[in-house]
Amino acid sequence: MKISIIGGGITGLSAAYYLSKEGFDVTVYESSYFFGGQASTIKIDGYEVERGYHHIFRNDYEIIDLINELGLSKSLEWHKSSVGMYADQSLYRFSTPIDLLKYKPISLINRIRLGFLSLYLQKKKDWKVYESISANDWILKYAGKEIYNRVWGPLLRAKFGIYHKEIAMPWFWSKMKTRFASRNKKGDEILGYLRYSFEELINSLIYNIERNGSKVKLNHKVTSIGHHDGVVENIEYVHDGIKEKIDTDLVICTAPSYEIKKLINFEKKYTEKLSAAKYLGASVFILSLKKQFSPYYWMNIIDNEIPFLGLIEHTNLVSKDRYGGNHILYITNYLSHTDEIFQKNKDELLDIYINSLIKINPKFNKKWIKKYYYNSVSAAQPVIPKNYSSLIPEIESPIVNLLIGNTTQIYPEDRGTNYSVKIAGEIVSLIMKKKGETDEP
């Protein structure tokens, strides 16, 4: 069986690896000039660094299994994380329950309430009861205005911008659950990171796909998926400005839903499902600094005057010695595709950001910046609406032998590389089942 995979991100490459291992003839078509998609890396001073900060949680079982299977278990290192909150022009530690009790921007009674609610959500098993309520309404109802205005509301707004009232409660529940599951007995959050970045995983997947006799192709943008009588027949792609069509028995499309809709027309119901979750883009700045910016790996910004939602200082998770002594700081924003930030060039953005960085750390100086890089990702974060169970696009599309796998199918968990590997596994199981049904006895 000849299988074409659209997209060389974690979903596409994992599916290709598992299928090539089973002996299928697979080709991955990736439109851009690099593999890895959202989990891809760039070189800074000779060291690979993710375009957008990445870590692994302790309960990311599927990706951990894949890492082990590929023989990379020694590379997966676990580090103690640290969280800070910038609010009321001050920086607060927010890593442990004790830090929460000391968090002055809210009253003591609400600090205790916040602690209990966090614990309650972490212990709660039946997330389905939250399907019909938004996170926004649940927080207002059960946590009250102060916690909403001073802690969780700004975090929701920062993550989902104009859509913050739409995000469903199961998303919030799963966020609390995941972060709890990644804590050790002492209550410290422990996060995983590959010794040589996610590039190690991506390169290993590619190496094994090719070793198993399958192919991966960069700069191949798929422009349409052809079918005959509702059964997949071919794909068309553009490479070096030349359009080509090839026959294929099965297509796995891992592109974002809005891209998939451009490749083929589906019946109304499935098209509606592909449109149910909107996407936010991410604007990510990477600074390579001479000095440490803050003591925290992850800093949430609760301040409307600051034009970004968070700072992630990668070298507060992984030692700066791994990066030639440089400090790696990400400035991150999740924004709607029409946000004016996406119109600005990186120098304009840096000028805007520098003033805010000085507000957070008055000692910060532009001269600390050795190098800076800017990336934007358009399908960075699906916004999962209420009652999503019945709206998730199925892996098996209405076109026979066209399977769909992307981040809009991850529910109730937040999107992440682990769940991309999980979806790839589900797709492969489906194909194996189909094969089993059609094989001659």
Ligand X SMILES: Cc1cc2nc3c(=O)[nH]c(=O)nc-3n(C[C@H](O)[C@H](O)[C@H](O)COP(=O)(O)OP(=O)(O)OC[C@H]3O[C@@H](n4cnc5c(N)ncnc54)[C@H](O)[C@@H]3O)c2cc1C
Per-position b or e across 92-125, b if 16+ CB within 10 A of its CB = bbbbbeebbeebebbeeebbebbeebbeebeeee
Number of residues that bind ligand X (CB under 6 A): 35
29 touches 254 (CB < 8 A): no
Contacts of 440 (CB under 8 A, 6+ apart): none
At 400, phi and psi to the nearest 5?
-60, 135
422 is a contact residue toward ligand X (CB under 6 A): no
Q: Which residues pair with 228 in a beta bridge?
A: 231
412 is a contact residue toward ligand X (CB under 6 A): no
Contacts of 58 (CB under 8 A, 6+ apart): 78, 181, 182, 190, 192
Handedness of CA 64, 68, 70, 72 (dihedral sign): positive
> 62-66, long-range: CB within 8 Å, 24+ apart, which pairs?
62/418, 62/419, 62/421, 62/422, 62/425, 63/201, 63/417, 63/418, 63/421, 64/192, 64/418, 66/14, 66/17, 66/201, 66/421
Which 339-398 positions form the footprint of ligand X (CB under 6 A)? 377, 379-380
Q: Which structure tokens are listed for 231?
A: 């059964």
Binding ligand X by CB under 6 A: which of 3, 4, 11, 401?
11
Shortest spacing between CB 420 and ligand X, in angstroms: 4
Binding ligand X by CB under 6 A: which of 5, 201, 222, 350?
222
Classify burial at 257, counting beta carbons within 10 Å of its beta carbon; exposed 0-12, middle 13-18, buried 19 or more: buried
Place of tokens 């609610």: 117
Among the listed ranges 35-43, 122-130, 178-186, 316-324, the one in contact with ligand X (CB under 6 A) is: 35-43
Shortest spacing between CB 435 and ligand X, in angstroms: 23
Binding ligand X by CB under 6 A: which of 55, 164, 278, 422?
55
26 is a contact residue toward ligand X (CB under 6 A): no
What Cα–Cα distance (Å) separates residue 59 from each residue in 170, 171, 184, 188, 217?
18, 16, 12, 15, 32
409 is a contact residue toward ligand X (CB under 6 A): no
Binding ligand X by CB under 6 A: which of 20, 293, 416, 427?
416
219 touches 8 (CB < 8 A): no
Shortest spacing between CB 249 and ligand X, in angstroms: 18
Nearer to ligand X, 133 or 235 (CB): 235
Nearer to ligand X, 136 or 406 (CB): 406
Q: Which residues pair with 25 in a beta bridge?
A: 2
Nearer to ligand X, 106 or 194 (CB): 194
62 is a contact residue toward ligand X (CB under 6 A): no
Binding ligand X by CB under 6 A: which of 4, 12, 164, 287?
12
17 is a contact residue toward ligand X (CB under 6 A): no
Nearer to ligand X, 357 or 379 (CB): 379
Among the listed ranges 25-33, 143-151, 179-187, 385-393, the one in contact with ligand X (CB under 6 A) is: 25-33
Which 262-301 positions form the footprint of ligand X (CB under 6 A)? 282, 284
418 is a contact residue toward ligand X (CB under 6 A): yes
16 is a contact residue toward ligand X (CB under 6 A): no
Among the listed ranges 47-55, 100-108, 272-280, 352-360, the one in contact with ligand X (CB under 6 A) is: 47-55
Calpha distance 251→254 (Å, rounded): 10
151 is a contact residue toward ligand X (CB under 6 A): no
Cis status, amide bond into 170, omega within 30 of 0: no
At 244, phi and psi to the nearest 5?
-135, 150
Q: Which structure tokens are listed for 410?
A: 């991850």
Nearer to ligand X, 16 or 147 (CB): 16
Pairing of strands 327-335, 250-253: unpaired
Among the listed ranges 27-35, 77-85, 395-403, 427-435, the one in contact with ligand X (CB under 6 A) is: 27-35
Binding ligand X by CB under 6 A: which of 25, 32, 115, 336?
32
417 is a contact residue toward ligand X (CB under 6 A): yes
Give residues in contact with ligand X (CB under 6 A): 6-12, 29-32, 37-39, 52-55, 221-222, 254-255, 259, 282, 284, 377, 379-380, 406-407, 415-418, 420
